[in-house]
Chain A
Amino acid sequence: MPTPLLELRNLSIAFDTERGQIRPVQGVSLSIFPGQTLAVVGESGCGKSVTALSILRLIPGPPGRVLGGEVLFEGRDLLALSEKQMRAVRGKDIAMIFQEPMTSLNPVFTVGEQIVEAVQLHQNVGTREAYQIAEQAMHDVGIADPAKRVHEYPHRLSGGMRQRVMIAMALSCQPKLLIADEPTTALDVTIQAQILELLRKLQEERGMAVMLITHDLGVVAENADAVAVMYASKIVEYAAVNDLFDSPKHPYTEGLFRAIPRLGRAGGRLQAIAGTVPNPRRFPAGCKFHPRCPRMSGDALCAQKEPELREIAPGHWAACHHIENFGQKPITPPTSDAIRAKAEART
């Protein structure tokens, strides 16, 4: 068993607000191995971005603070480092790219100046050499004519180009781990395909590990080796990508797969998950998914006791009280035709 590059152990984060404490991340444990892509999937408010930010200690505190747990990078607990030591890790060993490439670039500096700043922070090189590194990094991410583009301001670039610049900046110091927080959500589908292909290629060339945060199961299927599904502050399922897509064990994961329309299978009714994504201020008691769960509705155990993450099959964990005694019975909701017939009967 190789040792993980990054390991989160029982990480919990709290925000102390005027209206009480919010706990967006509760007892999250995960591992990322060198060269591997771990996808963290979930909907808004599930804690996936807060988890990512806390690895680099980018959670503003106050109001945010770590309640407990460890963030081990190459065996070293990042939470125990001084701010100065941490600055040497950020951007050097672990780099991050964000969803919105416009707001993550400074509009009053050229893209070259911004990449050079990152390079000179971590590498002892002169300005001319730093610009060479910047141009090489821009060339590596497929930006045509980098010697000219390096002197341009962010507003001159399209969304896809800006995201390439962000990736160039993140990769300019050869990080071992790249955290990509919804890197393609703001982009068009053909540009998304370009960026994901680029990330795969760079990852292969450099043996870099990637933590990919996304809500898109298509992106997960095409890029991830392992997947952690988060729901309401916790990991509810964790498995290798094929295992997860072949046989999801948690009713939330299962529901997500049924809810998405797929190309080439037009028509029919989608099997929606009832209810809404819970607000972190008002997580339900017991299993946090139980108010929306179609599996064992009304079960007292689910409403009272929060299930632990258990290993259901080798390397496949899920947090549900009812995995063994639940067959994969699809629930068929009424079709549009049935509803139309009913409406006609009324008139």
Chain B
Amino acid sequence: MSALLQVRDLKTYFPIRSGVLSRTVGWVKAVDGVSFDIGAGKTLGLVGESGCGKTTVGRSILRLIPLTSGSVTYNGEDFLAYRGEALRRMRRKMQIIFQDPVSSLNPRMRIGNIIGEPIEVHKIAAGAEKRKMVASLLQRVGLDENDAGKYPHEFSGGQRQRIGIARAIALSPDFIVCDEPVSALDVSIQSQILNLLADLRAERNIAYLFIAHNLAVVEHFSDEVAVMYLGRIVEKAEARELYANPKHPYTTALLSAAPEPDPRRKRDRIVLGGEPPSPANPPGGCPFHPRCQLTRDAAAQGAAAPNTAITLSPRGMNGSISLRVIDFGGTTEVTSGDAKFPVLSKCAAEVPPLEAKDGKPGHVAACWVTK
């Protein structure tokens, strides 16, 4: 069975321009070779910190920003080949919900027109029939049909997000990019919106690309989760598997950094030193190596000696892990912030491929050190 959406080796670069002639002096590799599949009615969660490229992925596959290279296949057809009217027809099937429910709704338009506009533009209905559709959409997202005559400012943040959802589902899409849909909402409202999105998924068999920075929300909502770092997917697995059995040290650090609502649980937290590097000037080798605790521990434990079996009990990982038995090529000194420490040379020199790891099928990670 082929997936509803197939993304292969997606790259989106932004030029850095400088000087009076605005010559391109470099590229920000916002997305640098991302591939994934999303099946019909399934949800892929995309997590990462600000600047990791997760929003750019969502917008690139909808062609809201031009991508540099790669392919996007929708229902077996090359989505990037569509032009003009054909592209517009395809867009019905692929919608987006934005983070900020304030700036994504035109303050001068009535709710009925905001939701009705796509219906009219795509010539699905007009007049009384359109109004009927808008009324039923409003009811479906938990608003009143009489709200159609109101303006966005008359609604709370959660209600505005419901309007954004009504607009997105107006054309009966098969696929929706949800770009941080609950990040701007109050805690008690977040769960309402997540439940609404889950119900729509169940009723209409909608597939989601669910972009968020809150791991607990992503894990709760997704079938599969991909973790991004500096424009690349560094780990991807089924949601529970990723949480229970992380294979990339960045995932481990993210999981351990998320504050948990349990005061009795004192965790052995990995506090990552330093900050995410700029995507305009990423480090060579594994992009995570300057902040990676695992490669430091491994180097300190003698893993640099070629082909030796080493077992570590790193903080944050469940129990101990056996490292890969390969030649890590000795150690290299790395500077991060004001600290200097040795890391495995292989991590500093070569980009690890995204490859299958021990664990459930489909669990992939890009790390030289873990098995």
Query: Closest A-chain residue to B196, C-beta based?
Result: A272
CA distance A340 to B199 in the complex (A): 8
Of B159, B190, B254, B265, the residue contacting A276 (CB under 8 A) is B159
Q: Does B19 contact A (CB under 8 A)?
A: no
When the two chains form their complex, are residues B257 and A189 in contact, meaning their CB atoms are under 8 A apart? Answer: yes
Q: What are 9 pairs between A and B in contact, CB < 8 Å? A: A158-B275, A189-B214, A190-B253, A193-B257, A222-B259, A241-B263, A256-B188, A260-B216, A263-B260
**A residues at B contact (CB < 8 Å):** 43-44, 144-145, 158, 160-161, 188-194, 196-197, 215-222, 224, 241-242, 245, 255-257, 259-274, 276-277, 279, 292, 336-337, 339-340, 343
Query: Closest B-chain residue to A225, C-beta based?
Result: B263
Query: Closest B-chain residue to A144, C-beta based?
Result: B338
Q: Does B189 contact A (CB under 8 A)?
A: yes
CA distance A219 to B187 in the complex (A): 13
State which of B58-66, B164-172, B236-244 sits at the interface with chain A: B236-244
When the two chains form their complex, are residues B216 and A261 in contact, meaning their CB atoms are under 8 A apart? Answer: yes
Q: Does B261 contact A (CB under 8 A)?
A: yes
Instruction: Tell me which of B191, B215, B272 has the highest count of chain A C-beta atoms within 10 A of its own C-beta.
Output: B191
When the two chains form their complex, are residues A272 and B261 in contact, meaning their CB atoms are under 8 A apart? Answer: no
- Least Cβ distance of B221 to chain A in Å? 8
Q: Does B337 contact A (CB under 8 A)?
A: yes
Q: Does B139 contact A (CB under 8 A)?
A: no
When the two chains form their complex, are residues B260 and A261 in contact, meaning their CB atoms are under 8 A apart? Answer: no
Q: Which residues of A contact B276 (CB under 8 A)?
A: 188
CA distance A3 to B202 in the complex (A): 56
Of A190, A222, A266, the residue contacting B240 (CB under 8 A) is A266
CA distance A43 to B156 in the complex (A): 13
Q: Which residues of A contact B201 (CB under 8 A)?
A: 336
Using an 8 Å CB-CB cutoff, how does the interface string of B227-255 with A read, 1 for contact, 0 for none?
Answer: 00000000000011001100000000111
**B residues at A contact (CB < 8 Å):** 49-50, 156-159, 186-192, 194-195, 198-199, 201-203, 213-217, 219-221, 239-240, 243-244, 253-265, 269, 271-272, 275-276, 337-338
Query: Closest A-chain residue to B199, C-beta based?
Result: A339
Instruction: Tell me which of A196, A197, A259, A265 has the highest count of chain B C-beta atoms within 10 A of its own C-beta.
Output: A259
When the two chains form their complex, are residues A277 and B189 in contact, meaning their CB atoms are under 8 A apart? Answer: yes
Of A221, A261, A265, the residue contacting B194 (CB under 8 A) is A261
When the two chains form their complex, are residues A336 and B198 in contact, meaning their CB atoms are under 8 A apart? Answer: yes
When the two chains form their complex, are residues A259 and B50 in contact, meaning their CB atoms are under 8 A apart? Answer: no
When the two chains form their complex, are residues B269 and A160 in contact, meaning their CB atoms are under 8 A apart? Answer: no
When the two chains form their complex, are residues B216 and A44 in contact, meaning their CB atoms are under 8 A apart? Answer: no
Q: Which residues of B contact A217 (CB under 8 A)?
A: 187, 261
When the two chains form their complex, are residues B156 and A277 in contact, meaning their CB atoms are under 8 A apart? Answer: yes
When the two chains form their complex, are residues B199 and A336 in contact, meaning their CB atoms are under 8 A apart? Answer: yes
Contact of A262 with B261 at beta-carbon distance under 8 Å, contacts A256-B188, A272-B195, A340-B202 already known: yes
Q: Which residues of B contact A268 (CB under 8 A)?
A: 220
CA distance A277 to B189 in the complex (A): 8
Q: Which residues of B contact A192 (CB under 8 A)?
A: 257, 259
When the two chains form their complex, are residues A262 and B271 in contact, meaning their CB atoms are under 8 A apart? Answer: no
When the two chains form their complex, are residues A221 and B262 in contact, meaning their CB atoms are under 8 A apart? Answer: yes
- Least Cβ distance of A295 to chain B in Å? 15
- Least Cβ distance of B29 to chain A in Å? 19
Q: Which residues of B contact A266 (CB under 8 A)?
A: 219-220, 239-240, 243
When the two chains form their complex, are residues B190 and A259 in contact, meaning their CB atoms are under 8 A apart? Answer: yes
- Least Cβ distance of A321 to chain B in Å? 21
- Least Cβ distance of A266 to chain B in Å? 5
When the two chains form their complex, are residues B215 and A43 in contact, meaning their CB atoms are under 8 A apart? Answer: no
When the two chains form their complex, are residues B191 and A260 in contact, meaning their CB atoms are under 8 A apart? Answer: yes
CA distance A261 to B218 in the complex (A): 9
When the two chains form their complex, are residues B220 and A267 in contact, meaning their CB atoms are under 8 A apart? Answer: yes
Q: Which residues of A contact B195 (CB under 8 A)?
A: 269-270, 272
- Least Cβ distance of B346 to chain A in Å? 24
Q: Which residues of A contact B219 (CB under 8 A)?
A: 261, 263-264, 266
Query: Closest B-chain residue to A261, C-beta based?
Result: B220
When the two chains form their complex, are residues A272 and B199 in contact, meaning their CB atoms are under 8 A apart? Answer: no
Q: Which residues of A contact B240 (CB under 8 A)?
A: 264, 266-267
Query: Closest B-chain residue to A43, C-beta based?
Result: B186
When the two chains form their complex, are residues B264 and A242 in contact, meaning their CB atoms are under 8 A apart? Answer: yes
Instruction: Tell me which of B190, B195, B263 has the highest count of chain A C-beta atoms within 10 A of its own C-beta.
Output: B263
Query: Closest A-chain residue to B239, C-beta based?
Result: A266
Of A44, A189, A339, the residue contacting B202 (CB under 8 A) is A339
Contact of A270 with B261 at beta-carbon distance under 8 Å, contacts A43-B187, A194-B272, A339-B202 already known: no
When the two chains form their complex, are residues B215 and A189 in contact, meaning their CB atoms are under 8 A apart? Answer: yes
Q: Which residues of B contact A216 (CB under 8 A)?
A: 187, 259
Q: Which residues of A contact B265 (CB under 8 A)?
A: 221
- Least Cβ distance of B256 to chain A in Å? 8
Of A191, A220, A274, the residue contacting B275 (CB under 8 A) is A191
CA distance A161 to B203 in the complex (A): 46
Q: Which residues of B contact A158 (CB under 8 A)?
A: 275
- Least Cβ distance of B193 to chain A in Å? 9
Q: Which residues of A contact B191 (CB under 8 A)?
A: 259-261, 270-273
When the two chains form their complex, are residues B189 and A276 in contact, meaning their CB atoms are under 8 A apart? Answer: yes
When the two chains form their complex, are residues A260 and B255 in contact, meaning their CB atoms are under 8 A apart? Answer: no
